């Protein structure tokens, strides 16, 4: 393939890159792909003919990596394939085409959005200054505008979104999009919504750690185990004191099973038991009932458990659940 650009003496020549490369492409691209692109830019200045196999040897990269890199840059329209090779496109022109929109007269709805847009413009300016040192790539503006429309975040939430990702050294589009999706699924639109979400997460994280400690886990809870805990805490509104009563029922088990814990806690919830005292009284009643049954069996000599009759399905379910914890 042939790479074309202008000729310059090698010793005194420079290979220049526009700033847009650093703001738009550098942080988003695989390091090997950048290596391939930079070398292609260098070679294009001299109109060099070079085969992919030669690039592989020169850059000490696998043949497949070179192929993937070329396809990556081609998909981004950074390079264009021709019959004789590739042309290195102007990055500034690419970004200009992305941003270009025909000017049309503003509708009444658009005029009504003016005040709102001013707040958004201020928020974007804050994002630019706080997280991009005032040199945010132009394409970020259209992305942020899209996220405002898609998620209906207010300005404070959008700034908080960037701060959250920045503090985790993950200020790139895919991660920001993932976090934004998660917030949206949790019905976050205003800063108050976000505040409540943080409080909920803090409460759950404290609960996860407390449960792990009681069970002697040195690992974190799995995603499925966390889902159980969230149900007990958020849906059933059970405090840790109540959950701990269920945890004590697993002390005789080598590997406590969250399915059994869930059956126990769900039974309490379905019975309308809401406090520690109510649950303890219920368990005492159950224990006394079991004791009375055994004494009756001992007196009568009746021990055929398979023929035992229960008043209703609730009694049968109770036996099944609490037998596992006896």
Domain boundaries, the chain: 2-96, 115-189, 210-323
111 or 40: which leads in pLDDT? 40
The CATH label, of 1.10.3470, 1.20.120, 1.10.10, 1.10.1740, for the domain at 115-189 is: 1.10.10
Mean pLDDT, residues 93-97 taken together: 71
Q: Are 2-96 and 115-189 in the same CATH fold?
A: yes
pLDDT digits (tens, 9 = 90+) for 121-179: 888 889 999 998 888 888 888 889 889 989 999 999 999 999 999 999 999 999 999 99
Q: How confident is the model at residue 181 (pLDDT cuts 50, 70, 90)?
A: very high
**In 3-state terms, what secondary structure has residue 98?**
helix
Q: What percent of the chain has pLDDT over 90?
A: 29
Q: Are 144 and 158 in contact (CB under 8 A)?
A: yes
Residue 276 has pLDDT above 70, yes or no: yes
128 vs 134: CA distance, rounded Å: 5
Q: Are 67 and 53 in contact (CB under 8 A)?
A: no
Residue 228 has pLDDT above 80, yes or no: yes
2-96 is a CATH 3.40.50.9100 domain: no
Q: Are 78 and 94 in contact (CB under 8 A)?
A: yes
Distances in whole angstroms, Cα of residue 69 to Cα of each of 4, 33, 73, 92, 125: 18, 5, 6, 20, 34
**In 3-state terms, what secondary structure has residue 79?**
strand
Q: How confident is the model at residue 312 (pLDDT cuts 50, 70, 90)?
A: very low
Q: Are 42 and 81 in contact (CB under 8 A)?
A: no
Q: Are 244 and 258 in contact (CB under 8 A)?
A: no
Q: Determine how β-strand 85-88 pairs with β-strand 2-4.
A: parallel
- What is the DSSP secondary-structure string of 92-122? HHHHHHHH-----PPPHHHHHTHHHHHHHHH
In 58-197, DSSP assigns E strands to: 79-82, 85-88
Entry pTM: 0.52
Question: Using H for helix, E for strand and C for coil, what is the string for 164-186?
Answer: HHHHCCCCCHHHHHHHHHHHHHC
């Amino acid at each position: 393939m042939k790479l074309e650009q202008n000729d310059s003496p090698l010793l005194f020549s420079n290979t220049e890159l526009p700033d847009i490369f650093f703001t738009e492409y550098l942080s988003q691209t695989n390091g090997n792909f950048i290596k391939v692109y930079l070398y292609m830019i260098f070679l294009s200045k001299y109109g060099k003919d070079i085969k992919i196999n030669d690039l592989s040897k020169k850059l000490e990269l696998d043949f497949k990596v070179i192929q993937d890199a070329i396809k990556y840059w081609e998909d981004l329209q950074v390079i264009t394939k021709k019959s004789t090779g590739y042309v290195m496109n102007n990055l500034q022109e690419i970004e200009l085409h992305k941003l270009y929109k025909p000017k049309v007269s503003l509708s009444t709805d658009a005029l009504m959005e003016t005040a709102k847009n001013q707040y958004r413009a201020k928020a974007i300016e804050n994002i630019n200054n706080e997280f991009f040192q005032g040199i945010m790539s132009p394409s970020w503006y259209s992305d942020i505008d899209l996220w405002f429309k898609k998620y209906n975040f207010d300005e404070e939430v959008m700034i908080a979104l960037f701060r959250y990702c920045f503090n985790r050294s993950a200020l790139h589009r895919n991660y920001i999009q993932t976090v934004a999706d998660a917030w949206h699924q949790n019905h976050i639109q205003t800063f108050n919504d976000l505040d409540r979400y943080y409080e909920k997460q803090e409460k759950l994280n404290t609960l996860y750690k407390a449960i792990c400690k009681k069970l002697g886990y040195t690992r974190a809870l799995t995603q499925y185990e966390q889902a159980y805990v969230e149900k007990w805490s958020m849906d059933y509104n059970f405090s840790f004191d109540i959950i701990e009563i269920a945890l004590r029922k697993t002390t005789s088990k080598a590997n406590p099973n969250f399915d059994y814990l869930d059956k126990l806690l769900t039974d309490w919830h379905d019975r309308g038991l809401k406090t520690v005292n109510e649950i303890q009284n219920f368990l005492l009643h159950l224990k006394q009932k079991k004791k009375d049954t055994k004494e009756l069996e001992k007196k009568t000599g009746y021990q055929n458990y398979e023929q035992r009759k229960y008043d209703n399905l609730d009694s049968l379910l109770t036996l099944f659940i609490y037998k596992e914890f006896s």
